[in-house]
Amino acid sequence: MPPQRKYTEKEIARIYLKLSKAAGHWLSFLDFARRGGPPASTIKAYFSRMKDLMAEVRKIDPDTILPTSMEATRSPRERYLRDEPEVIYDYPTAARKLNNIIKYEQSFFRRTNSGRSNNKINKIGVMGCLHIPFHAQKNLVKSINWLKSRGVNRLIVAGDLIDCLSMGHAGYKRNIRREHYVGLKQEIAEGKAVLGYIASQFESVVLLEGNHPARVRKRMTELVGPELMFLVNFDVLSLMSEGLDNVTIHKLQDKYSNDLSWIYQEGDLRICHAELGSSIELRPVVSLDNRMKNWDEYFEKHSPLTTSYRVLILVHTHMGGILPLNSASKVLCEGLCLTLEPQYAMEATIKYPRPQTNGVTYLEQCDGKTDMNSIRQKIFETME
């Protein structure tokens, strides 16, 4: 029977999304029920939700019947399942049936299990802490190939592209071994070559500074004094990215000219090169999230950071991990690294609580909203 009135695409999408969301929960619920988990009252509550959803679908086509899962017939609670409305949790099948009802092509639902529109999906890669010339060359190439295989068109290099070994503080430089020493000029030359290779692989590349390239500014301030710093070019990222049209150096300030370039935001994704660390896994990014909550009101009033974030990635710890919070309404990540194990981590003081981890992060966005289920990390077992 044809629809009694014409539904807009927005109305159709809303009904489909509500159905698919409930059906996704239904899959987990049936699996739980099969093991003898929930009481009858819970099962009844789920059926009540599905009845409401099916009623909305039947407003479009009163004869709609969506097939049920075979799990229902094996459930120990099947006495409660036998005469209830049939449901589906197979997203492609649901999309096909709904599309047949409303006479739209299946491509209307770009990703049937996430409810995305036809707008362009931005596939974003995040890497950082290469510490050139001590970068993990093989893993860098593997990371780029992995990101390209997933269709990444935008790469965020979230700090510490080069190490600036010779610009470290006195206590740091005392422990440099002769065989490890590299001058700044050599680092910049090698960094330019590596950045040129990276830029050739992606449509656009964004560079954050990080605390290691910032050593140059700090060292120059010590040598010439703050009053003469306007005469000094300490921007090593500009030197390395010269001539690379698709490379952007991220700059951010609040309205009082305070530097916030260590924070990068794209849609609901916020990437930070904050100098936080801990011997406890993922504590740095949790700590950063707690601090950001206190600062967000300031950022909103006094900086271009006017939107809150749902995904927070910290790149600095050289560790990895993905931590969903509040039913994945927010996801916290630590963004790994692509450097070899440094000498200062191997000193007798044992500065690092554990070996670092090489890898990169991948995610997808549509209309500035991150698909939480798309967040992935490629991790390498060895540093090479």
- pLDDT, tens only, 189-242: 999 999 999 999 999 999 999 999 888 888 888 888 888 888 877 789 999 999
State the average pLDDT over residues 7-12.
Answer: 61
Query: What is the predicted pLDDT for the residue at 343?
Result: 73
Q: 247-277 in b/e burial notation, b at 16+ Cβ within 10 A?
A: beebebeeeeeeebbbbbbbbbbbbbbbebb
| Residues sharing a CB contact under 8 Å with residue 297, sequence separation 6 or more, in sequence order | none
Query: What is the predicted pLDDT for the residue at 75?
Result: 41
pTM: 0.69
Q: What is the pLDDT of residues 40-50, one digit of tens each?
A: 555 556 556 66
Report the largest interatomic distance among the alpha carbons of the chain, rounded to a whole angstrom: 83
CA distance 37 to 243: 63
Asked whether the predicted pLDDT for residue 115 surpasses 50, the reply is no
Asked whether the predicted pLDDT for residue 32 surpasses 60, the reply is no
On average, the pLDDT of the chain sits at 77
Query: What is the predicted pLDDT for the residue at 319?
Result: 93
Classified as helix, coil or strand, 264 is strand
More confident residue, 265 or 118: 265
Could you tell me the pLDDT band of residue 111, with boundaries at 50, 70 and 90?
very low
Asked whether the predicted pLDDT for residue 148 surpasses 90, the reply is yes
Highest mean pLDDT among 9-23, 55-69, 290-304: 290-304
Could you tell me the pLDDT band of residue 314, with boundaries at 50, 70 and 90?
very high
CA distance 215 to 279: 24
More confident residue, 4 or 145: 145
Could you tell me the pLDDT band of residue 55, with boundaries at 50, 70 and 90?
low
Enumerate the domain spans of the chain: 9-108, 121-380
Query: What is the predicted pLDDT for the residue at 233?
Result: 76
Query: What is the predicted pLDDT for the residue at 350?
Result: 65
Query: What is the predicted pLDDT for the residue at 284?
Result: 94
Asked whether the predicted pLDDT for residue 81 surpasses 50, the reply is no
- Domain spanning 121-380, CATH class: alpha beta
Query: What is the predicted pLDDT for the residue at 308?
Result: 86
Could you tell me the pLDDT band of residue 146, with boundaries at 50, 70 and 90?
very high
Q: What is the pLDDT of residues 318-362, one digit of tens each?
A: 999 999 988 778 999 999 999 998 777 777 766 777 889 999 999
| Residues sharing a CB contact under 8 Å with residue 305, sequence separation 6 or more, in sequence order | 252, 260, 263, 265, 270, 296, 299
Query: What is the predicted pLDDT for the residue at 222?
Result: 83
Query: 376-380 and 358-366: which strand pairing?
Result: antiparallel
State the average pLDDT over residues 55-76.
Answer: 50
Burial class (CB in 10 A: 0-12, 13-18, 19+), 4: exposed
Q: Of 99-103, 181-185, 200-204, 343-347, which gets the smallest average pLDDT?
A: 99-103
Residue 71 CA: distances (Å) to CA of 34, 89, 326, 335: 7, 11, 29, 39
Query: What is the predicted pLDDT for the residue at 287?
Result: 95
Query: What is the predicted pLDDT for the residue at 220?
Result: 84
Give percent of the chain above pLDDT 90: 45
Query: 369-370 and 330-335: which strand pairing?
Result: unpaired
- Structure-derived torsion over alpha carbons of residues 208, 300, 324, 92, reported in degrees to the nearest 10: -90
